[in-house]
Amino acid sequence: MPRTARKKTADSIFHVMVKSVGDTILFRELEDKDAFLSILKHYKDIFLFKIYAFCLMDNHAHFIIDANGSDISKFMHGINQRYAQYFNKKYTRCGHVFADRFKSIIVDDDRYLVTLSGYIHKNPLDIKAYSDKIEKYPYSSLGIYLGLFKDKYELIDPYFVLTQFSNNINKARELYVKFVGKCNDPKMKAIVEFEGDGSEYRSERKILIRNFKPDRILEFVANYAECINPDVFHIKGKRGTKEYRALCILLMRSLCNMSHKEICALAGNITISQVSSLCSEGFNILKDNPKYKNLIRDFISSVS
């Protein structure tokens, strides 16, 4: 049967679930959960989406993700693909790791958003060691919400949900933990398990627009890098231009919502794997080279 078109908009908040295929254990070791969160962080830094809650179990994981103007399918496909490569290499296996596509439902209002976070944070009740202390489960954002853990991977914005309870963070945490304990509605549980559906949600959030033209990226990065002609982007193998091409491709993925194929067509004579490799290299340049660490922020400021 043909797949149903995914319901999505770039300014929506999504409940996303990924699940392992068949009887496969998605995270066999704690190291695997850390690897997944590290990959999630990598894509978050490229696509600039926001995460409001998460919980990783052994064979599935839940997230509340604010697309923030990005295409959720692009970055979720990349996250799942990279983790599958990691998993298959580590355990010397081949084949699918995830059960079909990721599942997603658009969150339709603030009440649903808050209630959903509570049900996601209750998932560790099924783990014997944490059944009476779910707030201490290290692969859920509940401990971050309550200030018990540091956000090791800098993934979460807990305040978006917590401020629905109080602007005083201590009071908000007190009210939220009580709220989570009361999340027992079987109808809501069915929704969390994707037995129902949600509708579109738009709030007063400020959404990052992603309709920039690639020529604007080429020109901005050329000026930022100094003494670079934007035309060199289209010339494969030209000496001294790899860093420039890598940064441009990173920004095209992040701020133009361009696919690998679209970038291939623009660059000319370049493969999808090369685009992926250059995007990763661009990310490392931003992370490691002080000259470029504010590149994305400066570009957004220049066009806002």
The DSSP 8-state label assigned to residue 1 in this structure reads -
Residue 74 and residue 19: Cα distance in Å, rounded? 18
Q: How far apart are CA 101 and CA 169, in angstroms?
A: 37
- Indicate if the pLDDT at residue 102 is higher than 60: yes
Q: What is the pLDDT of residues 208-219, one digit of tens each?
A: 777 788 999 999
| Tens digit of each residue's pLDDT (9 = 90 or more) over 1-51 | 344 444 556 668 999 999 998 888 999 999 999 999 999 999 999 999 999
Beta strands per DSSP E along 86-168: 103-106
Average pLDDT, the chain: 86
Of 242 and 6, more confident: 242
Written as six digits, the tokens of 257 are 């919502």
Handedness of CA 58, 62, 67, 71 (dihedral sign): positive
- DSSP letters of 258-283? --HHHHHHHH-S--HHHHHHHHHHHH
What is the value of pTM for the model shown?
A: 0.83
**Cα separation of 176 and 53, whole Å?**
13
Residue from 95, 92, 94, 76 nearest 36 by CA:
76
Fold of 214-303: Chromosomal Replication Initiator Protein Dnaa; Chain: A; (1.10.1750)
What pLDDT does residue 16 have?
Answer: 95
What number of helices (H) and strands (E) belong to the chain? 12, 4
**According to the model, what pLDDT value does residue 192 have?**
53
Interaxial angle between packed helices 30-47 and 242-255, expressed in degrees from 0 to 180 and rounded to the nearest 10? 90
Fold of 13-192: Alpha-Beta Plaits (3.30.70)
d(CA 132, CA 117): 18
> Could you tell me the residue ranges of all domains in the chain?
13-192, 214-303
256 Cβ neighbours under 8 A, 6+ residues apart: 210, 211, 212, 213, 214, 217
Please enumerate in sequence order all residues whose Cβ is within 8 A of that of 145, keeping only pairs 6 or more positions apart, or say none: 53, 121, 156, 158, 161, 162, 173, 176
Residue 201's pLDDT band, with cuts at 50, 70 and 90, is: very low
pLDDT tens, 57-99? 999 999 999 999 898 998 999 999 999 999 999 999 988 999 8
Angle (CA) 218-223-225 rounded to 5° is 95
Helix (H) or strand (E) holding 60: strand 60-66
